[in-house]
Amino acid sequence: MPHLHIKKFKTIDLPLTQDEVHFKFIADNATHADEKLIATNYEGEDFFLLVKQEEGRSLLKTDKLTRPASIYNVHKALLAYAKAADLQIIASNVVEGKKNVHLQEATALKKIDYFAKDFPREKEVRIEVGFGSGRHLLHQAAANPDVLFIGIEIHRPSIEQVLKQIVIQKLDNVLLLDYDARLFMELIPSNLVGAIYVHFPVPWDKKPHRRVISTSFIEEARRVLKVGGTLELRTDSENYYAYSYETFIAFPKITLKINKNKEIAISSKYEDRWKKMEKNIYDVIMENDEASPELKIEGDFSFEEKNHLPYEELLKLHNKTIRFEGGFIHFERVYKLEDGVMLRISMGSFDRPEHLYLLITENRLAYYPELPLRSPVNLEAHKQLIKAING
pLDDT digits (tens, 9 = 90+) for 81-124: 999 999 999 999 887 766 665 566 778 999 888 898 889 999 99
Same domain, 114 and 67: no
pLDDT digits (tens, 9 = 90+) for 188-238: 999 999 999 999 998 888 888 889 999 999 999 999 999 999 999 999 999
Same domain, 279 and 337: no
Average of pLDDT values for 267-293?
A: 87
Residue 294 domain-assigned (yes or no):
no
Cβ atoms 260, 280 nearer than 8 A? yes
| Separation between Cα atoms, residue 108 and residue 106, nearest integer Å | 6
Residue 201 domain-assigned (yes or no):
yes
Same domain, 176 and 242: yes
Same domain, 187 and 277: yes
DSSP 207-274: -GGG-S--HHHHHHHHHHEEEEEEEEEEES-HHHHHHHHHHHHTSSS-EEEEEES---SS--HHHHHH
Same domain, 53 and 146: no
Give residues with Cβ within 8 angstroms of 105, minimum separation 6: 167
Residue 297 domain-assigned (yes or no):
no
**Domain holding 191: CATH number?**
3.40.50.150
- The pLDDT of residue 103 is 61
Same domain, 77 and 108: no
Same domain, 39 and 142: no
Q: Quote the number of domains for the chain.
A: 3
Residue 206 domain-assigned (yes or no):
yes
Give residues with Cβ within 8 angstroms of 24, minimum separation 6: 14, 15, 39, 40, 41
Domain span at residue 319 reads 311-390
Other CB atoms within 10 Å distance of the CB of residue 285: 17
